């Protein structure tokens, strides 16, 4: 099957809240995750949420490869996270640069919680429960925002820190993830 196209900012489907998954291990859910993985890898993304390929379900995937955006960041383990719940932990927020496959070519400085506990399920309904920080915590917050119809530009507090990659970071090779 052809790689599913990734919706871009301006498409109203990216602004909708997605619905929880009711059944695990179904052919439909496994196919969705396979499609998401293919689309994320093809675009060299650090993560992807189901609504980005026009499926309004509470499913995100992330990690598994070093990020070109954060070359010094830890490698986040490849994770399938269904029906996620996030809880910020003590430690406040920090700002760092983010991009998004739905906002290609751009970066913005986005505040996120530094430390986080996230819970949810994998595609088989097995529980996931992790306490994370830094880049891992940032990626999860970014992806779960997609499930609530939130794109990172709306989280930028100083819009002078939002722009095209080539202008913000001249000479650097950065991808659209």
Has 37 been annotated as catalytic?
A: no
Catalytic residue among 38, 74, 143, 166: 143
Binding site residues, Ni ion, CB under 5 A = 100
* Strand-pair partners of 57: 19
Report, in Å, the least distance between residue 47 CB and Ni ion.
7
Q: Rounded CA gap, 130 and 119, in Å?
A: 7
- Between 45 and 120, whose beta carbon lies closer to Ni ion? 45
Report, in Å, the least distance between residue 23 CB and Ni ion.
26
SS3 (DSSP) at 142: helix
CB-side exposure of 25: number of CA atoms within 13 Å? 3
- Between 100 and 109, whose beta carbon lies closer to Ni ion? 100
- Between 100 and 137, whose beta carbon lies closer to Ni ion? 100
Q: Give every CB contact of residue 1 below 8 A, 6+ residues apart in sequence.
A: 35
Report, in Å, the least distance between residue 25 CB and Ni ion.
26
Q: Rounded CA gap, 92 and 154, in Å?
A: 19
* Residues forming the active site: 143
């Amino acid at each position: 099957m052809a790689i599913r196209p990734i919706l871009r900012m301006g498409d109203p489907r990216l602004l909708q809240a997605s619905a929880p998954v009711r059944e695990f291990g179904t052919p439909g859910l496994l196919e969705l995750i396979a499609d998401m993985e293919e689309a994320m890898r093809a675009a060299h993304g650090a993560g992807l949420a189901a609504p980005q390929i026009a499926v309004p379900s509470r499913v995100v995937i992330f990690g598994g490869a070093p990020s070109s955006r954060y070359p010094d960041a830890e490698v986040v383990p490849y994770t399938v996270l269904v029906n996620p719940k996030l809880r910020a932990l003590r430690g406040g927020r920090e700002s760092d640069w983010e991009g998004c496959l739905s906002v290609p070519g751009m970066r913005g400085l986005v505040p996120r919680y530094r430390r986080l506990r996230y819970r949810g399920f994998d595609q088989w309904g097995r529980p996931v429960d992790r306490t994370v920080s830094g880049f891992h915590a940032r990626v999860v917050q970014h992806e779960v925002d997609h499930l609530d119809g939130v794109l990172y530009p709306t989280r930028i507090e100083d819009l002078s820190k939002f722009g095209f990659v080539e202008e913000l970071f001249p000479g650097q090779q950065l991808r659209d993830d």
